[in-house]
Amino acid sequence: MRVKFADILQAFEFADISGGVVECRTFLCRQTGKIYYQFDQDDLQELEEDDLPDDIEDETKYLQIPNTRDLDLGKPLVIAFVREFLPNDVDDVRYIFSKRGAYQKFKALLSRRGAIDAWHDYRNKATERALRDWCEIHSIEIID
C-alpha cells in the first residue's frame, strides 16, 4: 500500500493527543491506505470525515498508527538529546522527569539554555526517522 508521509505524520500527531483533553486513535487501512480517526469524546465525532468501519479493531485489515510512547520518543528521546546537546544538565533533566509537569520544566530549561530550536529540530528528525522505520517494518510504501 502507498501512503503520503504527511498523512502518516498527521495521524501520528493526532494519536499523540492521547493523554490530553481528547483521546484519539488513528488507523491505517492495510488495503487502501486510508486513515481513520477514532475520538473517544462523543462531541468530537463530527471531526471524523467518514464513519469508522465496524471492523476497525481487526488487525488483519487495519493497522493502528503509533504514538510517542510506542516509538520511544518521549523521555528516552529527551535524555538522548540532553546527553548530546546539554551534557551538564543530564542529572537535572532526569530529576525533572521523575516528577509531574516534566515537559513544562524541560521547556523552561531549554529556554534558559537557548536550545529550544535545537530540541524541536532533534525531535522532528527523530520522529520522522521513527515513523519511516515503522512504515518500513509494516511494508507501507511512503510517497513524499
Q: Does 19 fall in a domain? A: yes
Q: Does 10 fall in a domain? A: yes
Per-residue confidence at 40, pLDDT binned at 50, 70, 90?
confident
Instruction: Find the mean pLDDT for residues 10-37.
Output: 84
Do residues 99 and 53 both lie within one domain? no
Do residues 55 and 7 both lie within one domain? yes
Do residues 62 and 7 both lie within one domain? yes
- Decide: pTM greater than 0.75: yes
Do residues 82 and 106 both lie within one domain? yes
Per-residue confidence at 1, pLDDT binned at 50, 70, 90?
confident
Per-residue confidence at 27, pLDDT binned at 50, 70, 90?
very high
Q: Does 134 fall in a domain? A: no
For residue 138, pLDDT beyond 90: yes
In SS3 terms, the chain reads as CEEEHHHHHHHHHHHCCCCCCCCEEEEEECCCCCEEEEECCHHHHHHCCCCCCCCCCCCCCEEECCCCCCCCCCHHHHHHHHHHHCHHHHHHHHHHCCCCCHHHHHHHHHHHHCCHHHHHHHHHHHHHHHHHHHHHHCCCEEEC
Give residue-wise pLDDT tens across range 60-103.
Answer: 999 999 999 899 999 999 999 999 999 999 999 999 999 999 99
Q: Which residue has the higher pLDDT, 111 or 14?
A: 111
Q: Give the total number of structural domains in the chain.
A: 2
Per-residue confidence at 43, pLDDT binned at 50, 70, 90?
very low
Do residues 87 and 107 both lie within one domain? yes
Do residues 39 and 92 both lie within one domain? no
Range of the domain at 51: 2-66
Q: Of 27, 45, 66, at which residue does a domain stop?
A: 66
